[in-house]
Amino acid sequence: MCYNRPVECRLLVEGVAAGYGPRRVFADVTLEVHVGETLVVSGQNGSGKSTFLRLLAGLQRPDAGQIAYVMGETAFDPRDAGHLIGWVAPDLMLYRDLTARENLRFFAEVRRLKRTDAELEALLERLGLGGRADDLLATYSSGMAQRLRYAYALLHHPPALLLDEPTVTLDERGAGVVAAVIAEQRQHGLVVIATNDPRELRYGDLVLKLDG
C-alpha cells in the first residue's frame, strides 16, 4: 500500500462523462488528486455526485474518458483497484444478523486480510464503537451502522478513501470522528468526498461543483 511504501498515490480523471439513457449528468471532467489532498464534489441532489463516486469506485463505467489510480509507475483501472480503495456510502450493505466483529472478520476474509481480534477492536474503538464489537448490527442505531461502514472502509488501510455523504445519520460526535478519519487519511493517502452539506466544503483542497 501507499501507506507502507515510498510511492506516490494519485487519482487521475480525464475527460470523464456519465449519464443515464439520453440524459447527460456531467461531461468532460478532468482533474488530479494527490496524496495529502481532499477533493470535495458538491452539487444539488441529482447533480451526479454519487454517480461520480461510483465511477471512482469502479462500480459504474463512464460513458467517456478515463479514470486511473496511479501507484508509482503503475496505473490501475478502478475496477481493478479494490485493494487501493476504501468506500463509504449510505447504501453500503452490512449484515444485520452478524455482530460488528463478525462483519469485519467476514470482510477481512473476503479481502484475504489477517486481522486479529485486538486489531478489530482497536479499529472499532477508534470509530467510537468500543465495547460494542459483539453486539448484533440489528441493535445498532443508524449512526452506529454508519461508523461501522467506516471500519469496513479502513480495514485494509486504503490509499484512496471515497466518502459519499460522509456524515449522514451522524450526530456531532460522529461528525468529529469523521473529521479525525479524514485528517489521518490525508497523512498517507487521498480523500474524495461527495456532499451537499456546505459545511463539508472546508475539507476541500479541490472542489468539483456539479450542476446536473
Number of H helices, E strands in the chain: 5, 9
pLDDT tier at 9, thresholds 50, 70, 90: confident
Sheet holding 23-34, edge to edge: 23-34, 9-20, 64-71, 74-76
- Residue 60 in domain: no
Residue 164's domain spans which residues?
36-50+82-209
Decide: 129 and 137 in contact? Cβ < 8 Å: no
Query: pTM, whole model, 2 decimals?
Result: 0.93
155-196 tens-digit pLDDT? 999 999 999 999 999 999 999 999 999 999 999 999 999 999
- Please identify which residue in the block is written with the cell numbers 456519465: 18
- Residue 1 in domain: no
Domain count, the chain: 1
79-113 tens-digit pLDDT? 999 999 999 999 899 999 999 999 999 999 999 99
* Strands in 118-198 per DSSP E: 160-164, 190-195
- The H-assigned helical ranges of 80-141 are 100-110, 117-126
Burial class of residue 30 in the structure, from the number of CB atoms within 10 Å of its CB (0-12 exposed, 13-18 middle, 19+ buried):
exposed
Q: Say how far apart CA 185 and CA 158 lie, in whole Å.
A: 9
List the CATH number of the domain containing 137: 3.40.50.300
